Amino acid sequence: MALGHWEEALAVWIRVKNPRLPGVRKEENEERKRFYQNVSITQGEGGFEINLDNRKLKTPQAKLFTVPSEALAIAVATEWDSQRDTIKFYTMHLTTLCNTSLDNPTQRNKDQLIRAAVKFLDTDTICYRVEEPQTLVELQKNEWDPIIDWTEKRYGVEIGSSTSIMGPSIPARTREVLVSHLASYNMWALQGIEFVVAQLKSMVLALGLMDLQLTVEQAVLLSRLEEEYQIQKWGNVEWAHDYELQELRARTAAGTLFVHLCSESSTLKHKLLQD
Amino acid sequence: MAALGSPARTLRGLLRELRYMNAATGRPYRDTAAYRYLMKAFRAHRVTSEKLCRAQHELHFQAATYLCLLRSVRQHVALHQEFHGKGERSVEESAGLVGLTLPQQPGGKGWEP
């Protein structure tokens, strides 16, 4: 008997809720097995859809999973296809971002998303400086100042940096300019931007990624500058440092790619170039 | 502008990641939608080393970002498996830690299926 999508989910849920079922260890209980053979993409009315065997993928809130960009659909399909015995949802960052955009579980509108992102400026990592040790002060100056300078020139605003415990004081005009810049992005792209800002703990670094100024590896390194400094000094702990580094890179890369693929200008240009 | 390196290098890296992803399945990586899309995109724009065209630079940036995504996810999962993947010990293993074994009860305990 072929089990449907929901019957299968129910079967897993029953096992998870019933620890007395023998032979099932805690880890196996918490992960779903891969239940599909083929992953494919079709184009529907609302955009591109993902099919797991012949069932259409749905979001956690049971909406039909559609994405506006073919490249994004292929990348999501690749995420699903690369799962082996169990489905590791925590590695499927693009799928998660799409689900968030489709379901909007926090129910935020465009304004709220923009404000959430710009709020990070007040405690922006690369504006918030230490006073000692001197080598770290130098490192922060040499690595972070150029990025701030570039951003200030690009947007015609003042950002600056500060060693005060209150953080940098961002002029109201700077905030206005950045808010209106972000307003030019669509809702999906904004979900991605807010995600990247929250991961890197820096609005300025996120802007650098959106403006093709920094690679993901560079942005992550700059975000983790103090950690890298301490690692150089005291040593690297693979199961903690590398683990976090790779996770941050994965999330930042996913968010950045998501924004670029969802920004209408790039999709449009791509289409024009293909004709 | 971001230091991206050569497009050829990015493409090679992407193909390598696709190879790793498809190694466990029987399927060759050239059969995947991702491979076809990437080859089409790289050929269509014949990305050269000269950063003349902004669209080309954008596409190369997206490709490099995707490469970073694939690589970092693979390495993250590998680290997870190696350091955080073991889960709990079974009851037998826990007993074995202190030199005990579980009692055998032929006939089962009555509530097992």
Q: Which amino acid is at A191?
A: Q
**pLDDT tens, residue by residue, A58-85:** 999 999 999 999 999 999 999 999 999 8
Which whole-number Å values give the CA distances from B36 to A47, A74, B30, in the listed order? 20, 10, 7
**Within-domain flag for B75:** yes
Which of A216, A237, A238 is best to mutate for the B interface (most B CBs within 10 A)? A216
pLDDT of residue B48: 54
Among A22, A67, A61, smallest CA distance to A44 is for A67
Residue A142's pLDDT band, with cuts at 50, 70 and 90, is very high
Find chain B residues with C-beta within 8 A of A254's C-beta: 69
**Within-domain flag for B100:** no
Cβ distance B2 to A214 less than 8 Å, yes or no, reads yes
* The pLDDT of residue A23 is above 50: no
- Total domains in chain B come to 1
Find chain B residues with C-beta within 8 A of A71's C-beta: 37, 41, 62
**Within-domain flag for B113:** no
State how far residue A12 is from chain B, nearest Cα, in angstroms.
Answer: 18
**pLDDT tens, residue by residue, A206-263:** 999 999 999 999 999 999 999 999 999 999 999 999 999 999 999 999 999 999 999 9
What was the ipTM of the complex prediction? 0.84
pLDDT of residue A159: 92
**Within-domain flag for B99:** no
Find chain B residues with C-beta within 8 A of A258's C-beta: none
Query: What is the distance between the alpha carbons of residues B34 and A136, in angstroms, rounded to a whole number?
Result: 42
pLDDT of residue B73: 97
Residue A266 has its nearest CB partner, among B58, B85, B87, at: B58
**Within-domain flag for B21:** yes
The average pLDDT across A181-193 equals: 95
The average pLDDT across A137-142 equals: 95
Residue A124's pLDDT band, with cuts at 50, 70 and 90, is very high
| Tokens found for residue A57 | 């993928």
**pLDDT tens, residue by residue, B2-23:** 788 888 999 999 999 999 999 8
The average pLDDT across B85-103 equals: 86
CA angle, B66 then B71 then B77, to 5°: 125
* The pLDDT of residue A18 is above 80: no
pLDDT of residue A131: 92
Among B21, B48, B5, B75, smallest CA distance to A218 is for B5
**Within-domain flag for B89:** no
pLDDT of residue A25: 47
**Within-domain flag for B93:** no
**Within-domain flag for B56:** yes
Residue A196: what are its φ and ψ, rounded to 5°? -65, -40
Query: What is the distance between the alpha carbons of residues A94 and A35, in angstroms, rounded to a whole number?
Result: 20
8 A C-beta contact, residue A205 and residue A126: yes
**pLDDT tens, residue by residue, B40-68:** 988 877 655 555 577 888 899 999 999 99
pLDDT of residue A38: 92
Pairing of strands A86-87, A55-56: unpaired
**In chain B, positions 43-102, which contact chain A (CB-CB < 8 Å)?**
44-45, 55, 57-59, 61-62, 64-66, 68-69, 71-73, 75-77, 79-80, 82-88, 90
pLDDT of residue A76: 97
Residues with Cβ within 8 Å of A208's Cβ and at least 6 positions away in sequence, in order, are A147, A150, A151, A214, A219
Residue A270's pLDDT band, with cuts at 50, 70 and 90, is very low
- For residue B18, give its domain range: 7-82
Residue B68 has its nearest CB partner, among A77, A217, A269, at: A217
Q: Measure the CA dihedral A258/A264/A269/A274, to 10°.
A: 70
